[in-house]
Structure formats: structure tokens, C-alpha cells
């Protein structure tokens, strides 16, 4: 679903980055860790699912840690105008492993996913979280300001864990949960980080990115700042990655509901084994 605003991500650049990542066949440690993280969360569910929907590249093999959680899988991806192209509806389970990363209308995408689930169907997803590549973002901002007098978009915005639960609620999911896992990676040099980002398809695909080649003096300023601010004594540099996990259920009458205010039958003081004291309200002195 598109709004009246210009798209945040360039669809052609997204496709190009994905195709290049497939050709590289590098070690995608974030994808492996994300699949394991989703599997851990699905393992906590006390039932297995009949119909699963894999949301992502139709050519991608469903990771082994996730494949066994549904008896059968269909595939879907977001196409033109962020429309979810699913073969049917009524799924027990929908899984996204970084496939929502370059969706322009994330709230709208979540609404579409909730609608294709049957009541009491489960949605789980992994996204890059808010502090991912903060060092890279800062270093590019410093380097471009120093050499060009301004900055251009270089690193995609990422969802903050504090906003994720609200996004799930806004999309109509019940029992929303969001949590984050953090990873600090040390690289021998800046170009090792760049290779890993290309292997994952996590390069700059922003619509408003600069199309001009990166100037030599700008790159030099970026590298100098990165090494000075985010380097270790052995010459290696650090890069932070956050994986944000989302879990939500399509509403169903059997699900646990929050109690209405004032409906508690036991006092908190009794549960804590303390004496309840009344505090008299007083008007402020003037």
C-alpha cells in the first residue's frame, strides 16, 4: 500500500541488491542467526501449524530451522505498491525473515499479513533494529560534512524496538510482542564490513540516495573517522547489528484478554504480603 509520499526505497535498487547477494553466495550470518531466533520463538508455541506462508524471495529455500514448523508452505512477496501477492488466505502461520526490510509502507504491510491469517494464526518476523550500523551512519555523516558541507542518505532507517509493539497493535494483531538481540562484529577493515553488507543485500537502496560516485577524499574522511571513533587497539573496527523480532496473533475469541480496570479480586498488598497504607491527599500550599 503506497501513500502520497515518495517511496522510501527504490524497487529497482532493491532487486539489484538482492540479485547481487544471490550471486555472491557469501556467509550471511545475520540470516542464519535470524532464522535460529525465529525458530526459538516458534519452539515456545505448544502447537504445530498446518499451512505456513513464507514471505520473501520466492527462489529462497526456507531455512532448515524453520521448515518443520508447518506441514506445508506457500510463498508470497510484496510486489508493486507494496501489495502482498499471496496465493490464498487462511494461513495458520506467516514468517518473514528480513523481507519487510525494504517495504515502504510497513504498517500497511502488517495489516495485509494479519488479514491473510486465519483467526488465531501466528505471525513472526525478523527485522534489522534501530541501532544497526550506527557507526557507519555516523562516519558517513562526518565524512560528507567535512568534505562536501552536507550529508546524503547512506544507511536505511530501522525500526526501534520501542515502536514495534505499537506497529503490531496498529495492524490489529493480538498479544503483540517485540524483542531485540544485539550483535557486535569486529572487522579487519572497513571493506570487510562492505563485503558482508553486499552479501546480505543490505546496501544503500534508498530512493533519495546520491547517484554520484563516492569521492576519494570523502571516503578517506569516512575511514579516518570510523577508525578513530569505532576502532580497537589492534586496528580492527566494530559494527553493531540489532535483530528485532516481532510476534503477533490474528485475533480470536479464545485468546487471553486483559482485565478491565477495577476488576481485580485480590489486593496487591495481600499478594505482596505487605500492609496497605492510605495516603491522604492534600491541597498544595500557596
Name 28's Cβ contacts closer than 8 Å, sequence gap at least 6: 21, 199, 200
Segment 219-253, tens digit of pLDDT: 999 999 999 999 999 999 999 999 999 999 999 88
In-domain check, residue 52: yes
> What pLDDT does 286 receive?
46
How many domains is the chain partitioned into structurally? 1
In-domain check, residue 6: no
In-domain check, residue 145: no
- The low-confidence residues of the chain, meaning pLDDT below 50, are 1-2, 281-284, 286
What is the domain extent for residue 204? Answer: 11-134+153-209+236-272
Instruction: Tell me if residue 263 falls in helix, strand or coil.
Output: coil
- CATH number for the domain including 53? 3.40.50.150
Q: Write the DSSP assignment of 102-169 as a string of letters.
A: T-S-HHHHHHHHHHHEEEEEEEEEEEEBTTTTHHHHHHHHHHHHHHHSS----S---B-HHHHHHHHH
Distances (CA, A) of 104 to 78, 143, 157: 10, 28, 11
In-domain check, residue 97: yes
Segment 59-100, tens digit of pLDDT: 778 999 999 999 999 999 998 889 999 999 999 999 999 999
In-domain check, residue 2: no
> What pLDDT does 281 receive?
46
In-domain check, residue 3: no
> What pLDDT does 170 receive?
95
> What pLDDT does 81 receive?
87
Q: Write the DSSP assignment of 188-241 as a string of letters.
A: SSHHHHHHHHHHHT-S--BTT---SPPPHHHHHHHHHHHHHHHB-TTS-EEEEE
In-domain check, residue 277: no
**Separation between Cα atoms, residue 266 and residue 119, nearest integer Å:** 32
Place of cell 494479519: 114
In-domain check, residue 218: no
**Separation between Cα atoms, residue 100 and residue 78, nearest integer Å:** 9
Amino acid at each position: 500500500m503506497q501513500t502520497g509520499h515518495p517511496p522510501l526505497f527504490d524497487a529497482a535498487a532493491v532487486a539489484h541488491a538482492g540479485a547481487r547477494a544471490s550471486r555472491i553466495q557469501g556467509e550471511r550470518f545475520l540470516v542464519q542467526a535470524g532464522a535460529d531466533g525465529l525458530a526459538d520463538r516458534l519452539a515456545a508455541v505448544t502447537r504445530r501449524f498446518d499451512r505456513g506462508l513464507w514471505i520473501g524471495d520466492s527462489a529462497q529455500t526456507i531455512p532448515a530451522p524453520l521448515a518443520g514448523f508447518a506441514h506445508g508452505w506457500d510463498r508470497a512477496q510484496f510486489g508493486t505498491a507494496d501489495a502482498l501477492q499471496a496465493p490464498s488466505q487462511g494461513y495458520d502461520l506467516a514468517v518473514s525473515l528480513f523481507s519487510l526490510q525494504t517495504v515502504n509502507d510497513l504498517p500497511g504491510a502488517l495489516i495485509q499479513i494479519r488479514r491473510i491469517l486465519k483467526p488465531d494464526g501466528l505471525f513472526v518476523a525478523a527485522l534489522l533494529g534501530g541501532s544497526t550500523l550506527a557507526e557507519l551512519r555516523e562516519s558517513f555523516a562526518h565524512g560528507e560534512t567535512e568534505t562536501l558541507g552536507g550529508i546524503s542518505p547512506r544507511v536505511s532507517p530501522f525500526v526501534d524496538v520501542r515502536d514495534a509493539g505499537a506497529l503490531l497493535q496498529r495492524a490489529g494483531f493480538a498479544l503483540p510482542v517485540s524483542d531485540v538481540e544485539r550483535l557486535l562484529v569486529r572487522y579487519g577493515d572497513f571493506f570487510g564490513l562492505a563485503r558482508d553488507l553486499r552479501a546480505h543485500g543490505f546496501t544503500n537502496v534508498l530512493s533519495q540516495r546520491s547517484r554520484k560516485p563516492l569521492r576519494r577524499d570523502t571516503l578517506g574522511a569516512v575511514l579516518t573517522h570510523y577508525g578513530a571513533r569505532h576502532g580497537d587497539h589492534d586496528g580492527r573496527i566494530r559494527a553493531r547489528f540489532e535483530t528485532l523480532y516481532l510476534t503477533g496473533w490474528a485475533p480470536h475469541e479464545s485468546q487471553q484478554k486483559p482485565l478491565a480496570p477495577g476488576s481485580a479480586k485480590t489486593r496487591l498488598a495481600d499478594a505482596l504480603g505487605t500492609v496497605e497504607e492510605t495516603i491522604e491527599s492534600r491541597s498544595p500550599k500557596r
